[in-house]
């Protein structure tokens, strides 16, 4: 299979890598993980595990897709969540390890070990899921796009209003799972019209909207 190359994903990756390096220099990464009850070493381990595994996509299923369209779209102010390559009349739905599996497992760890209230967690999660679904848009030839700050702001505001001492945990869980459900899972019905051959739940990995949303939501609490 041939893979097409685009400078846009590389540009976005470099921009977000620069953001991450700035956060590290300012100590924001340490603050974020401390709010979640992790030591610096555990937080860095999680970060690099997500980064290194972001190249791994686990196929889940394949569905028939429509004819491809022109991939040149207006994507200003949008963060892209998906991976595309050569069109072959089928679209593979996969989950990315670094941007999907690891954040989900970390949310489960936080829920079990930090024990946030179930009702408050559910309310925050529903709020972020709804906002993520409403603000996400199919971008033919590319994937699903969503403004980068909408979900973390919603998660942070909801967590501050309901979370009390557990607001950081609520913000991460709601921000991460809310985007995954609202902008990924609930948008699967749109994938056959995108003209792509692979849709990766969790996007390209660590620097996908799901992972960044969780960290930004915690920082904003």
pLDDT at 121: 93
Domain contains 1: no
**Which of 35-44, 53-62, 112-121, 140-149 has the lowest average pLDDT?**
140-149
Is 88's pLDDT higher than 60? no
Q: Is 63 a domain residue? A: yes
Rounded to an integer, the average pLDDT of 119-134 is 94
Position 29 in a domain = yes
Q: What is the mean pLDDT of residues 92-118?
A: 89
Q: In this structure, is residue 183 part of a structural domain? A: yes
Residue 144's CB is within 10 A of a number of other CB atoms, namely 25
At residue 1, the pLDDT reads 34
Domain residues for the domain of 170 are 7-219
Residue 2 in any domain: the answer is no
Q: Is residue 176 part of a domain?
A: yes
Distance of alpha carbon 197 from alpha carbon 184, whole angstroms? 16
Count of domains for the chain? 1
Dump pLDDT digits (tens) for 139-198.
766 667 788 788 899 999 999 999 788 899 999 999 999 999 998 888 888 777 666 677
Whether residue 215 lies inside any domain: the answer is yes
Answer yes or no: is 193 within a domain.
Answer: yes
Give the pLDDT confidence score for residue 94 in this predicted structure.
85
The closest of 174, 59, 189, 207 to 136, measured between CA atoms, is: 189
55 C-beta neighbours (distance < 10 Å), count = 12
Q: What is the mean pLDDT of the chain?
A: 75
- Sign of the dihedral through C-alpha 191, 194, 197, 203: negative
Bridge partner residues of 58 (DSSP): 95
Query: Residue 73 above 70 pLDDT?
Result: no
């Amino acid at each position: 299979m041939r893979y097409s190359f685009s400078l846009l994903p590389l540009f976005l990756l470099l921009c977000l890598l620069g953001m991450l390096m700035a956060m590290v220099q300012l100590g924001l990464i340490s603050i974020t993980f401390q709010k979640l009850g992790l030591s610096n070493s555990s937080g860095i381990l999680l970060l690099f595990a997500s980064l290194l595994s972001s190249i791994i996509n686990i196929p889940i299923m394949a569905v028939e897709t429509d004819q491809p369209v022109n991939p040149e779209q207006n994507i200003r102010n949008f963060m892209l969540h998906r991976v595309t390559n050569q069109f072959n009349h089928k679209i593979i739905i996969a989950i990315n390890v670094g941007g999907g599996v690891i954040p989900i497992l970390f949310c489960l760890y936080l829920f079990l070990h930090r024990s946030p209230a179930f009702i408050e967690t559910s309310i925050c999660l529903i709020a972020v899921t709804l906002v993520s679904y409403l603000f996400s848009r199919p971008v033919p030839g590319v994937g699903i796009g969503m403004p980068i700050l909408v979900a973390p702001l919603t998660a942070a505001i909801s967590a501050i209003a309901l979370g009390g001492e557990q607001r950081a945990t609520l913000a991460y869980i709601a921000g991460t799972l809310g985007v995954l459900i609202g902008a990924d899972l609930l948008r699967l019905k749109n994938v056959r019209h995108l003209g792509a051959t692979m849709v990766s739940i969790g996007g390209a990995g660590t620097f996908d909207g799901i992972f960044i949303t969780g960290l930004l939501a915690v920082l904003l609490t």
